[in-house]
Amino acid sequence: MQYQISSSSPADLQASCIVVTLDQSGKLSDAAQAIDNASGGFIQARIDGRDIRGKTAETLLLPAVSGIKAERVLLVGSGKEDVKPAAAQKILKAIAATTGKMDGQIALALSALVNDELTETWWAEQTAMAFGSAAYQFTETKGKKDEPEADSAPQGLIWLGNDVTDALNKGDAVANGVNFARELGNMPPNICTPSWLAGQAGELAADKALDVSVLDEEELEEMGAGAFVSVAKGSSEPGKIIIMKYMGAGKDAPVHMILGKGITFDTGGISLKPGQKMDEMKYDMCGAASVFGTMKTLLQLKPAINVIGMVTSAENMPAGNASKPGDVVTSLSGKTIEILNTDAEGRLVLCDALTYGIDHFKPASVVDIATLTGACMAALGEVNSGLFTQDETLAGELQTAAQYSCDKVWRLPLEDDYQELLDSNFADMANIGGPLAGATTAACFLSRFTEGTPWAHLDIAGTAWVGGAKKGATGRPVPLLVNYLLGK
């Protein structure tokens, strides 16, 4: 997308559409007022006629307003005078939905919406994200014959206001990362396998700023990654740990690690899941997808930070050689694990990747991202991702980034008091903690492989995709991860 900054008067602006706002008291923004004046009261007449009242995200598209150079005017309601982040996102979504398929240039006059919390920079970034997000469509496995005619899309955005070019470019890069994560998440599980994901990393490495290496299942077995292998071995698709290294700050600066769960399909294994909605377990690699998306954004922005993106990927299948409840395996750390439920596989592939990553790269911080527990989804729904950490600095950084990017998190407990729920009679720990506090006991399990390193865990079971008629991956938490890392 092309971006342009303009200070010309709204009525004189050549564009396919100009977007202006009014609030719920019917008060026009300065830009809307300028258009009203130039058109001899055309806008005010529509408000008096009750065509639009100014409620949050209400829209009215007016073609061919006389006295206005733009081909159309889009009136958008901004609701209460002091716009909050959730309302802001609705407003931008409505704007992008209405204008996102128009040809030409879309001009945006949104400065009336700026307030202390939501700065002009913030609005610019979120606007670019909203347009980028609206442009996403999954077509990869749709039959060519039904393909609709290629939709047109705006050639560019014209921002009426201060020079917010950097924010627009950042928003564009985040949207590209989000859309990449959505695309990987939505891919069917017969295509999106651990090997295919490794191939995606290889394609990202066309950019020389990214260095990619892959550990395959055989190597991992020889290394002693018994927890990882216990999950991967039941599938004919070989498991992989994928490592993407972006060193924008040089090798002497600290490196930060993000690690994504990449179960490309989770049947539950021998502890087989019930059939209903089982197709959605293709989304069990959305943590991995968010790591890919974040790396994609970083490659577009090229910030001066060092980031290792790791993906731990396998398919969880029942098979003659699959793990059984009661099996005891030795993890890469040397700690033994009694597998009481083969459906608690995410923590098994994550724990060996944590050990490997911390050992090899000595990261200054680690954040893992995983569709880890139904319990987290039950607790937080589709609104917040679960945040678990004992590191207050990391908690603060992630919460700040989440709030800024509208990619919300809610902190859940990770106290030592819960650790005993993982006690096992036959190994150093069990892989499940019983029926209570399921999201926390999963985090407790992971914590045992991160000792001494600042670490946080994001459980995205409820936020990574939506079900129902609009079934699809959300691309979360790419916006959160990008903003967190850019703060490093």
Cα 382 from chain centroid (whole Å): 13
Of the listed pieces 150-158, 201-209, 317-325, 345-353, which binds Mn ion according to CB under 5 A?
A: 345-353
Instruction: Tell which residue, 195, 224, 228, 201, has the closest CA to residue 213.
Output: 201
Beta bridge partners of 243: 213, 310
Nearer to Zn ion, 54 or 346 (CB): 346
Q: Which of the ranges 85-93, 146-154, 227-235, 343-351 carries the binding residues for ligand BES, by CB under 6 A?
A: 343-351
Smallest distance, Å, CB 235 to Mn ion?
13
Token reading at 23: 């609030």
Q: How far is the CB of 440 from ligand BES (least distance, A)?
A: 11
CA–CA dist 321, 337 (Å, integer): 18
Give backbone dihedrals phi and psi of 90, rounded to 5 degrees, phi first.
-65, -40
**Cα–Cα distance for residue pair 435/375, rounded to 1 Å:** 9
Which of 182, 347, 448, 476 is flagged as catalytic?
347
Report the candidate in 369, 415, 364 with the shortest Cα–Cα distance to residue 394. 364
Residues 426-445 binding ligand BES (CB under 6 A) are 432, 438
- The 10 Å Cβ neighbour count of residue 482 is 27
Q: Which of 172, 217, 284, 352 binds ligand BES (CB under 6 A)?
A: 284
Q: Can you tell me which of 267, 294, 373, 463 binds ligand BES, judged by CB under 6 A? A: 373
296 is catalytic: no
Shortest spacing between CB 184 and ligand BES, in angstroms: 16
CB of 62: closest distance to ligand BES in angstroms?
A: 44
Q: What 3-state class would DSSP assign to 135? A: coil
Q: How far apart are CA 32 and CA 11, in angstroms?
A: 9
Q: Does 346 bind Zn ion (CB under 5 A)?
A: yes
* Residue 374 interface partner, choices ligand BES, Zn ion, Mn ion, none, CB cut-off 5-8 Å depending on type: ligand BES
Q: Is residue 368 a contact residue for Zn ion (CB under 5 A)?
A: no
Q: Is the alpha carbon torsion for 411, 415, 420, 424 positive or negative?
A: positive
Q: Provide the pairing of β-strand 255-266 with 72-77.
A: unpaired
The correct pick among 36, 125, 217, 266 for binding Mn ion (CB under 5 A) is 266
| Closer residue to Zn ion (CB): 229 or 263 | 263
Beta-sheet strands, E only, within 324-469: 328-330, 336-338, 365-370, 385-389, 409-411, 429-430, 455-459, 465-466
C-alpha gyration radius of the chain = 24
Which of the residues 277 through 316 are near Zn ion (CB under 5 A)? 284
343 binds ligand BES (CB under 6 A): yes
The reply to whether 377 sits near ligand BES by the rule CB under 6 A is yes
Cα distance between residue 306 and residue 449, in whole Å:
22
Structural contact between residues 64 and 71, judged by C-beta atoms closer than 8 angstroms: yes
Nearer to ligand BES, 279 or 417 (CB): 279
Site residues for Zn ion, 253-282, by CB under 5 A, read: 263, 266
Q: Which helix (H) or strand (E) holds 295?
A: helix 286-301
Catalytic residue among 27, 273, 335, 471: 273
Residue 386, CB half-sphere, CA atoms under 13 Å: how many?
28
Give the one entry of Zn ion, ligand BES, Mn ion, none that residue 479 binds, where binding means its C-beta sits below a cut-off of 5 to 8 angstroms depending on kind. Answer: none
* Among 58, 343, 407, 459, contact with Mn ion (rule: CB under 5 A): 343
Query: Is 414 an interacting residue with respect to ligand BES (CB under 6 A)?
Result: no
CA 435 vs. chain centroid, Å, equals 29
Is the bond leading into 454 cis (omega within 30 degrees of zero)? no
Question: CB of 287: closest distance to ligand BES in angstroms?
Answer: 10
Which segment (143-151, 265-273, 347-355, 425-433) binds Mn ion by CB under 5 A? 265-273
Q: Is 467 in the site for ligand BES (CB under 6 A)?
A: no
Name the one range near Zn ion by CB under 5 A: 33-41, 244-252, 339-347, 403-411: 339-347
Q: How far is the CB of 284 from Zn ion (least distance, A)?
A: 4
Q: Is 273 a catalytic residue?
A: yes
The tokens describing 264, both together, are 């490309």
Among 102, 128, 344, 380, binds ligand BES (CB under 6 A): 344
The residues, any chain, with a CB within 8 Å of residue 174's CB and separated by 6 or more, are: 125, 128, 129, 132, 297, 405, 478, 479, 482
DSSP readout, 352-365?
HHHHHHHHHH--SE
Binding flag, residue 58, Mn ion (CB under 5 A): no
Which chain residues interact with ligand BES by CB under 6 A? Answer: 266, 284, 341, 343-346, 371-375, 377, 432, 438, 461
Question: What amino acid positions are annotated as catalytic residues?
Answer: 273, 347
Which chain residues interact with Mn ion by CB under 5 A? Answer: 266, 343, 345
Which chain residues interact with Zn ion by CB under 5 A? Answer: 263, 266, 284, 346
